A = this chain, B = another copy of it.
Amino acid sequence: MTDLATRYRAYIDCLNARNWADLGRHVHDDVEHNERPLGLAGYRAMLEADVEAIPDLAFVIDLLVCEPPHLAARLAFTCTPKAEFLGLPFNGRTVSFSENVFYTYQEGKIRSVLSVIDKQAIERQL
């Protein structure tokens, strides 16, 4: 048994490597994101769209709080969206912001994601 924090770090490594073929090792077939039942294919499509919109997207763990089956992470981003993101016009500007996100694990994989991105921090930089 690998503990949840180690498992989560492997998921983040998978995202940063754009290793979509391995995503199913970390994410449950029936995954939900902000209460939308995306499933693994929809979740992968969401991530691929994020990376298409933000080619330099990198996930950095700022803080990890783990109490199985839940894990909460504060993620730090410094990145350069190509055009529009979250309905905001970036036009090549680099911004830094956080995402506070809760995960629920089931059968060793991410089953539910409840994420909030700090849009106010981004707006202050544009």
A contacts, CB < 8 Å to B: 63, 65-67, 70-72, 74, 86, 98-102, 114-120
Q: Contact between A65 and B72 (Cβ–Cβ < 8 Å)?
A: yes
> What is the oligomeric copy number?
2
Q: Contact between B98 and A114 (Cβ–Cβ < 8 Å)?
A: yes
Q: Given A65-B67, A67-B67 in contact, is the A116-B98 Cβ separation under 8 Å?
A: yes
Besides the known contacts A65-B70, A100-B100, A100-B114, 4 further A-B residue pairs in the complex with CB atoms under 8 A apart: A63-B114, A86-B120, A116-B117, A116-B118
Residue of B whose beta carbon sits closest to that of A122: B119
Q: Which 9 A-B pairs have the closest CB atoms?
A: A72-B72, A100-B100, A100-B116, A65-B72, A116-B116, A65-B70, A116-B118, A65-B67, A119-B119
